[in-house]
Structure 1
Amino acid sequence: MTAFRLAHLSDLQLPPPPLPFRWRDVASKRLLSRFAWRRKRRRHIQAVLDAIAAHMVSRSPDHVAITGDVVNFSTPEEFEAARAWLLSLGDPREVTVSPGNHDALTARGAPRDFAPWRPWLSDGPPGDFPHLRVRGPVAIINLSSATPTALHLAQGALGRVQIDAAARLLRQAGAQGLCRVVLVHHPVTRGVVSGRKALTDAAEFRAMLRSVGAELVLHGHAHEAHLARLPGPDRDIPVLAAPAASTPAGGPGEPARWNEIAIAPGDAGFRIRVTAFGVTPALSVERLGAFSLYPAAQNPHDRPSPPQGAFL
């Protein structure tokens, strides 16, 4: 049977279009974020993101998962510009976006419930997260850890209601024999980011996953490639992060990368193999290596990621 190929990229941070001056932004987190963007704008380059996206599209994945931080300041102008960019990837039914903290930087003046991106969030009518999208043998459980925070914080939260709803969707998909892939922006394993950037209810979320299970969790936020494992009811749950998809090679930060995740039925569940592709200083995109997530031995504790650039 042909493997289902899921593309994963994260932290696009599309360069903002010209933004009008608004007095409400002076008293909000957006003003500080604009100063930060001016200092860090060379870490997020449109040409790098476009090269990554073009390479990804050329390989015709079955679905694309984007784990947040599509924009920077959560302004209406950014949401509309990002909508146009997302349309360039193809049919919104084949792309799922899990919002990040930059997509919810502040509630003042931001589109309610990420409304311009609704076709990329779920298949159904507007509603609260989580959302379930079934594609072939894969159940995509789309969560939102995006929530406005105070100055100097980039934390996320899921909330008890969303965690309980995700548990119900995971049980339902597991009973149907689907490969359950969870999308969330913030890391769910310990020690990936500092406390001011963490998922505040990660412990509760991990406890739910330990009870219910999943085949794979995808996230971003750390701007680094990372692989860990969480205990599940029957076997470890791989947790995989991709670096920012717009960071150039040769500068500060880990260069842009996207992961192609091949999912196929196996003797004991699913076989999952990851191939990583990264940008070069010349803006070409090259294969970095590949590794298997399943089959994997049971481990009751989180496992750290392999060294940067190393592959299993």
Structure 2
Amino acid sequence: MTTLAHISDIHLSPMPEVALRDLLGKRLTGYLNWKLKRHDELNSETLASLVTHLQQQNADFTAVTGDLVNLAMPVEIERAGRWLDALGQPDRVCVSPGNHDAYVPGALETAQRVWGPYLQGETLDGAVFPFVRRVGDVAVISCSSAVPTRPFLAVGRFDEAQADRLGRILRVMGEADYFRTVLIHHPPNPELQHPSFGLKGHKLFRQVIAEHGAELILHGHTHRSSIHSIPGKGHEVPVVGVAAASAAQGGTLDDPARYNLFKIERSGTSWTCTMREYGFQRLGNEIVMRLQMRIY
């Protein structure tokens, strides 16, 4: 049996000291949004409690589906690197980056340098994404939808080159009989698309999954707990989103902080997969198991 933890939308706080010269372009609107709204709804105390609870599960592997930072300033990226080191060793943790990690041009490249092995794995053609981590019978396949965008936009992008590589990886991992778990920050299912914050290329992503199959897709971005599905090869593929890991109770927009834990095991020629969701309720101070369900 392999246990896989999923956490997302870290949004490390508090915001570091910011000089006026740091707030050029999109960072200005992002900073104002943080000061006026998000700084009360995303906090470090909530995140620390959730991570402590997650680490007590001693999962075989932890998938982080992006948005470790807020404005992707160099000091934030450095701090996120230290947070990853505290979360777990890079052979047991990987990241699929989010739009905040690529907030401005050059930010994602800085994150790749600082976060190093957390953003690396087996690849095709020398491209960074998708990369693969193999953990027991599970193949964790990390895609990237993270691209810099104009102010007031939080869209992601999944292009044909990445789609081609993802298809080839899914085929190889499927032939080797791995439980293929695909990570992407932006949700690919049609129910959660929006011109301002959706995934450009979501149809292309779904076409790849429909052609080559997968067993599970994990995402973040929405700050909501959700379960959907998209067509796969021979069966529907669960698409599971998780609430922001730093979301405080009492927020007006988001579910309180949560993480998911999957227990995956081969059963003859098929799979069993059970998901447990842990986190805060809207009332009460304890982290509890909110949901348990069998996916396969």
Aligned to 2:91: 93
In structure 1, stretches of 5+ residues that fail to align are 295-312
**Number of the residue aligned with 2:103:** 105
Q: CA deviation at 1:119?
A: 1.3
Spell out the pairing of 1:56-95 with structure 2 (5 A cutoff).
Answer: 56-95=54-93
Residue in 1 aligned with 2:263? 262
Matches of residues 213-252 of structure 1 in structure 2 within 5 Å? 213-252=213-252
Contact 1:132 1:139 in 2 (8 A): yes
Change (3 A) 1:92 1:142: same
Deviates more, 1:273-282 or 1:227-236: 273-282
Q: Give, in angstroms, the shift of residue 123 of structure 1.
A: 3.2
1:268: how far off?
A: 4.2
How far residue 279 of structure 1 moved from its aligned partner, in angstroms, is: 1.9
Q: Secondary structure at the match of 1:211?
A: helix
Structure 2, gaps ≥5 residues long: none
How many Å separate the matches in 2 of 1:26 and 1:14? 18
- Give the TM-score taking structure 2 as reference length: 0.93
Give the CA deviation at 1:289: 2.0
What is the 5 A alignment of 1:59-208? 59-107=57-105, 111-112=109-110, 114-123=112-121, 127-208=127-208
CA shift, 1:99, in A, is: 0.3
Give the Cα separation in 1 of the matches to 2:111 and 2:42. Answer: 25
Aligned to 1:32: 29
Aligned mates of 2:141, 2:11 — CA distance in 1: 23
Give the Cα separation in 2 of the matches to 1:268 and 1:240: 24
Residues 27-64 of structure 1: per-residue CA shift (max 9 Å, x gap): 31011100001122111110101111000001100000
After TM superposition, give the deviation of residue 158 of structure 1 in Å. Answer: 1.6
Q: Are residues 133 and 258 of structure 1, via their aligned partners in 2, closer, same or farther at CA, if it must alter by over 3 Å?
A: same
Which has the larger displacement, 267-276 or 205-214?
A: 267-276
The reply to whether residue 290 of structure 1 matches residue 287 of structure 2 is no
Return the alpha-carbon distance in structure 1 between the equivalents of residues 241 and 90 of structure 2. Answer: 22
Distance 1:33 1:115 in 2: 23
- Aligned partners of 2:40, 2:269: CA distance in 1, in Å? 45
Identity of aligned residues (%): 34
Letter of the structure 1 residue corresponding to residue 69 of structure 2: V
> Aligned equivalents of 2:99 and 2:261: distance in 1?
24
Residue 118 to residue 16, structure 1, CA distance change in 2 (3 Å) = farther
1:86: Cα distance to partner?
Answer: 1.0
Which secondary structure does the structure 1 equivalent of 2:34 belong to? helix
Shift of residue 124, structure 1, vs aligned partner: 5.5
CA distance in 2, matches of 1:114, 1:65: 16
Q: Matched residues in 1 for 2:239 and 2:179: separation?
A: 14
Q: Is the 8 A contact 1:17 1:77 kept in 2?
A: no
Give, in whole Å, the separation in 2 of the partners of 1:109 and 1:98: 14
Distance 1:108 1:213, change over 3 A: closer
| Residue 251 of structure 1: how far off its partner (Å) | 2.9
Q: In 1, Cα distance between the equivalents of 2:231 and 2:268?
A: 21
How far apart, in 2, do the equivalents of 1:286 and 1:237 lie? 27
Q: For the aligned residues, what is the CA RMSD?
A: 1.7
> Which is worse superposed, 248-257 or 55-64?
248-257
Which whole-Å CA distance do the structure 2 matches of 1:206 and 1:82 have between them? 31
Query: Which letter does structure 1 place at the counterpart of 2:279?
Result: G
AA paired with 2:245?
A
Q: Following TM superposition, by how much is the alpha carbon of 1:269 offset from its aligned partner in structure 2, in angstroms?
A: 2.1
Q: Does the Cα contact within 8 Å between 1:262 and 1:274 map onto a contact in 2? A: yes
Q: What SS does structure 1 have at the residue aligned with 2:239?
A: strand
Q: Deviations over 1:59-118 (max 9, x none)?
A: 100000011111101111011101111111121110011000000010156644622112
Cα deviation digits, residues 167-187 of structure 1 (max 9, x gap): 111111001010000000001
- Count the aligned residue pairs: 291
* Displacement after TM superposition at 1:191 (Å): 2.2
Q: Structure 1: how far apart are the matches of 2:109 and 2:73?
A: 8
